[in-house]
């Protein structure tokens, strides 16, 4: 009887160890694919220097960007920008990523969404 309980205990500990190992490997692999961004206030608090690459989002900051902007980006909409701060405090973006809200409304049958129409 005691041998049977001991075997179950060893099996349970081994199963828990494997579960922890699998969870650790999964978390490590997922961490490398996650993308974080800072608010301008967080960037200032962390001492992000001019020329240091960073992602920003959240609140207002003057952004200078060249190239095309996402079709979903409109006045007042949120965006995440990648780039660097310039010495005068403005942000030079190398990439602009439009954020969308969590509310989805399907277009009416036969209607073309406004962001896909030609200018």
Reading the chain (119 residues) residue by residue, the pLDDT tens digits are 556 678 888 889 999 999 999 999 988 887 766 667 888 888 889 888 899 888 888 788 888 888 777 766 766 667 888 899 998 888 998 888 876 666 666 767 777 666 544 44
Domain membership of residue 117 (yes or no) is no
Answer for the pair 69, 103: CB distance below 8 angstroms, yes or no: no
Domain ranges, residue 76: 40-98
- The whole-angstrom separation of Cα 73 and Cα 100 is 9
* 22 and 52 fall within a common domain: no
Domain membership of residue 30 (yes or no) is yes
Count Cβ atoms below 10 Å from residue 72 Cβ, excluding itself.
14
Domain membership of residue 19 (yes or no) is yes
* 52 and 87 fall within a common domain: yes
Number of domains into which the chain is organized: 2
Domain membership of residue 5 (yes or no) is yes
State pTM to two decimals.
Answer: 0.54
């Amino acid at each position: 009887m005691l041998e049977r309980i001991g075997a179950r205990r060893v099996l349970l500990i081994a199963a828990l160890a494997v579960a922890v190992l699998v969870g650790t490997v999964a978390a490590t692999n997922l961490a490398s694919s996650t993308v974080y961004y800072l608010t301008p206030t967080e960037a200032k608090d962390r001492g992000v220097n001019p020329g240091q690459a960073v992602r920003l989002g959240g609140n207002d900051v003057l952004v200078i960007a060249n190239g095309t902007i996402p079709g979903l980006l409109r006045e007042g909409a949120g965006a995440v920008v990648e780039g660097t701060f310039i010495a005068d405090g403005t942000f030079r973006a190398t990439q602009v990523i439009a954020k969308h809200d969590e509310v989805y409304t399907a277009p009416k049958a036969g209607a073309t969404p406004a962001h896909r129409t030609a200018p």
